[in-house]
Amino acid sequence: MTVPAFGLGTFRLQGQVVIDSVKNALDVGYRVIDTAQIYQNEAEVGQAIAESGVDREALYITSKIWVDHFAEGQLIPSLKDSLAKLRTDHLDLTLIHWPSPDNAVPVAVFMKQLLEAKKQGLTRAIGVSNFTIALMKEAIAAVGAENIATNQIELHPYLQNRKVVEFAKSQGIHITSYMTLAYGEVLKDPVINQIADRHNATAAQVTLAWAMQLGYSVIPSSTKRANLESNLKACELTLSEDDMAQIAALDRGHRLTSPKGLAPQWD
C-alpha cells in the first residue's frame, strides 16, 4: 500500500476544534487523516469520522504510538485502545512517533511488536517518524525495509533534510513531510510568494505542491474551511524546474521541532 500524497494533520487540535476541522475536511474532499496518541484527540477524530457519514473503506487513517507504550507487551494493547477511540477495527498506517528516549526500549523491541500488529490485521501498514539514518538502519534490521512504509519527518523549504531523504529513498522508504509550511514561516517568503504570483496560487499551495512534486506526502492542518479547500488545490498545481530550483535554494537547516528528552542526534 502506498501512502497517499495529501492528507489532513490534526496536531495541536483538540475538542470541538478538531471535530470541526475533520468534518470540514471530509466534506470538501479529504480522505486521509493523520493523528497520534499524544495529540489526545483520537476520540474526537473518531467521532468526526462517524458523524461525517464517509465510508471507512474510503478513508486512510494514520495514528502514532507514543513512547510510553514501547515496552514488550504494551504496544498492541495501546494500539487497540487507539482503535477503540477512533471507532475502527484497523488503521491504514501506524507509526512509531519518536524513537525511545535514551534508547530505553531498543528499536527492535517496538518494531517487532508493530510488525506483529500488522500481521494481526490491526494496521495495514507500519512506519516510523522522526527517525535518523542510524535509527532507520536499526528498524530495517528488525523488520526489513519492505515493512517500513514511511518515515514522517519535519521537512519544509527551510529544512529539506536531504541526507535522511536520500537514505530512505535508497531503501525504498517513502517520506512524509510534517510542518511543510514551517508553522507558517514560509508563507511570508518572498521567493515562494513570487512563484505563487506567477501561478495565480497561494504560498501554501506552492509549498505543498513543491513537497508533493519531490515525491513526499504532506499533511497540512487548518481550522478554517476556506484554507482546507485552498490547500487541497495544491494537488492540481505543477511547478516548473526553475520554481523547484528556487525553493531548493531556500534550505538553511532551520529545524523547528527538537523536543528535549525526545529528539535523537539529528543527521
- Binding residues for substrate, as ranges, are 97
User: Does the pLDDT at position 99 exceed 90?
Assistant: yes
Instruction: Give pLDDT, residue 65.
Output: 98
**Would the pLDDT of 31 be above 80?**
yes
**β-sheet bridge partners, residue 192:** none
Average pLDDT over residues 151-165: 98
Active site includes 158? Answer: no
234 pLDDT higher than 70: yes
**Mean local confidence (pLDDT), 246-256:** 98
- Mean pLDDT, rounded, for 218-238: 98
Give, to the nearest 10 degrees, the angle between helix 203-213 and helix 190-199.
90
Residue 141, pLDDT score: 98
pLDDT exceeds cutoff 80 at 208: yes
Computed over every residue of the chain, the mean pLDDT equals 98
Residue carrying the nine cell digits 512534486: 213
The predicted model gives 188-203 an average pLDDT of 98
Q: Are 54 and 81 in contact (CB under 8 A)?
A: no
DSSP states along 32-72 = EEE--GGGT-HHHHHHHHHHHT--GGG-EEEEEE-GGG-ST
HSE value, Cβ hemisphere, 13 Å, CA-based, for 53: 2
Asked whether 49 and 85 are in contact (CB, 8 A), the reply is: no
Whether the pLDDT of residue 172 is over 80: the answer is yes
Mean pLDDT within 26-45: 98
The Cα–Cα gap between 122 and 174 comes to: 21
Among 114, 131, 122, 119, residue whose Cα is nearest residue 65: 114
Predicted confidence (pLDDT) per residue in 47-92, tens digit: 999 999 999 999 999 999 999 999 999 999 999 999 999 999 999 9
Mean pLDDT of 197-213: 98
Residues 30, 39, 158, 216: which is the catalytic one?
39
Using CA atoms, how far apart are residues 197 and 195, in angstroms rounded to an integer?
Answer: 5
Q: Band the pLDDT of 1: cuts 50, 70, 90.
A: low
Domain regions of the chain by residue span? 8-248
pLDDT of residue 54: 98
Here the cell at position 22 is: 475533520
d(CA 68, CA 100) in angstroms, rounded, equals 9
3-state DSSP assignment of residue 28? helix
Q: Please tell me what DSSP assigns to residue 151.
A: E
CA 110, 114, 117, 119 torsion-angle sign: negative
Amino acid (1-letter code) at residue 151: N
**And the C-alpha cell for 258?**
527538537
Architecture of the domain delimited by 8-248: Alpha-Beta Barrel (3.20)
The set of cell numbers assigned to 266 is 539529528
Compute the average pLDDT of residues 155-182. Answer: 98
